[in-house]
Structure 1
Amino acid sequence: MNNKNKIILQTFYTFFVNGIMALMIGSIMPFIMEDYQLSYAVAGFFISLHSLGNLFASFVAGVGIYRFGRKKSIVVLSSLIALSYTGIVLTSYIPLLYVFFFLTGLGRGSVSNVNNAIINDIAVGKSSLLNLLHTFFAIGAFLTPIIASLITGAGYSWKVVVVLGIFLSASAVITYFIMKMEEIPDYSIETKEDVDDVIEEKEQDNLLPFYKSINFYVASALLFFYLGAENAVNGWLVTYFTDTGIVSVTYAQRLLSMLWVVIIGGRLLTAYLSRSFNPKTLILINSIGASVFFAILMSSSTALSVTVSLIAFGFFLAGIYPTTIASVGKVIKGSSSGMAILLAVAGIGGTIMPAVTGAVANVVGIAGGMSLITVSIILMLLLAIVLRYRANKEIQ
């Protein structure tokens, strides 16, 4: 196996672990709320602090990479995942939990930033490889609720689930430590000559720099609403289903796993279709499907209708995030700030929506809080329409 393929596989593994830890909070939140006697508002704040950590990761990882290099930075930042989840297991002191939930997001967001940058640097603008990267994330996300339901269903504490995640997170840190990152193509802009080379290449392809590209801002806004919806769904879906009494907590956890099984299939299919279709067309089709079936999901009141609509929702949701990144991949090539801004804007959406959902749920109930996610998905759809029909305005 050549070094390039080894780096790709190592990146896929660390993103697989990142997917496991992404669904950890949503899978165990009902148990944390019960053990620590938390309200919807406080639990929602935990989820949002996790998302806020994701947001800050765009800046912290960027500065760390500039000062200390990519490898040293990601080894340190990814270790925060295992350390913060250890803190969540060991203490019930709410102010400390605020800090730990923030650090889980900071660690996970750093992994997301670095892994997306690694794959984009190896295969610039190829949505197929980015979709495969996010498929491994989806596999990890799929496994977490299943593992959680099996462990808690057997009568063990939710803390056993978290400890398992801690060991996997530690293995990801080791993987980064042994990864030969010096062999990754370096598109970072450090000198005037680098800047001139990137500008010249983009001019040859008739490309605007990212900060002059309207499509870049549309894609950023689209990811804002996408990640807001995804984080709120991941954080609140199990609680929503169990508190409304539609299904049991075990069935709800397995529904969350089923969602990510479908997302795996959807991302693989999107990776295949991206060879033949314009990525902006795929984004629009997926956004339409996700909007329709999430609306159906929110109006469902039986286990069968919830299951069917959730499967369809996950299928269409699957490829939106990686394909949107790939749609502006050439524009942000050579610019670490471009990727950081893109993911930071998405992170803001992921930070706001879970907290707003929890705050509204505290007043009008969890069903009312979840209905706000529909608004986010509709706005995502509108931006997908704009992005698609601006496809000929800028060459990307």
Structure 2
Amino acid sequence: MTHSPRIRILMIITELDRGGAEQQFVQLAIGLLHKGWEVRVVCLGPRAELCDQLEEQGIVPRCLGARSVWSTLSVLKQLVENIRSFQPEIIQTYLFHANILGRLAAFRAGRSVVVCGLRVAERQAHWHGWVEWLTASLVTRWVCVSEGVRQHAAKNWKLDQTRLVVIPNGIDIDRWKNAIPFTRADLELPSDAIMLFSAGRLDVQKGMDILLDAFGKVALEWPRLHLVIAGEGPLRKELELHKGTQSPASGRVHFLGQRNDIPRLMASCDLFVLASRWEGMPNALLEAMATGKPCVATNVEGSSELLGHGQRGENSQRGWLVPVDDSLALAAAIDEALRSETRSTALANSAQAYIQKHLTTQATISAYDFLYRQLLEVSPPALSTSIN
């Protein structure tokens, strides 16, 4: 019997902390391993939480320990050494720093098939787009997580559209729809509390200030409504002092910090809200939809594709969409979702069915597997071995 040799893929990521992109990366690495690929993972930063998850599946990540820009030359040298020793047929990079250093190392080591992930339509660090464009000749394909990111990269970064492909994030829907909710007492909420939930990094991108503004408005009409926010970030202290946390919402805004039980928190809420100013394909929204919760989100990259196009429910199939930075529209959509219980349930069911049909983890892994084999012009392995 003959067995086809396993195809080698080197996967490089900036860090392995528990973030949305990082968890998608880990899912992909494990999925490719199970599909028969020989997978090596390199993390530019120090060892972090998700390393354990990889090791449980037999993938031992090589963490290079970078903590600042001063580590760049050392990291680049180590990446070149990893590429030369492993000789991968495909190099897949995730997140900006890994994208740039990975392609430079691949060029230095003489490897040509480089696939880079574009995870967000960056609006703040504009120089990222300039560096992407400057080093574009070293990239075989960019994988964009949404059509919105693809359009952003083509229009604003002037990247070659023929090398931009879209593979959306996927999710293990059973993990989310079967999560056991907390009781209101577990969350230190009144027994009759209506729970509005949001999750994300507390920074400018996620628009938590707009959410607090909106909550301050809608709280007047809904005295049982509580806003629960999971996540950490540089703006936490500022947000805790935000006017939206004051009267009439005083005592009804709850900052939980970083949590590792998001499925249970998601299962506990009555309505999920995402107020981002820009995105790629927001994992938190994907998770809320998989849980079967009604959703209100701003009309940004990924969110508009997940929930359907339109403004505040008009022509929307799976949730409410509102303009960015518009707390009045956000408050109105929250109010409508809470009042329209029948419609909210119908949209939530439609959203969950959409995720189950189109955006599973296995669908994402299969799409990457197909892309890689297409680039290498390699057929999938046969289901049975042949006898010579």
Q: Bigger radius of gyration, 1 or 2?
A: 2
Structure with the higher helix share, 1 or 2? 1
TM-score, normalised relative to structure 1: 0.25
Structure with the higher strand share, 1 or 2? 2
TM-score, normalised relative to structure 2: 0.25
More contact order relative to length (CA 8 Å, sep ≥ 6): 1
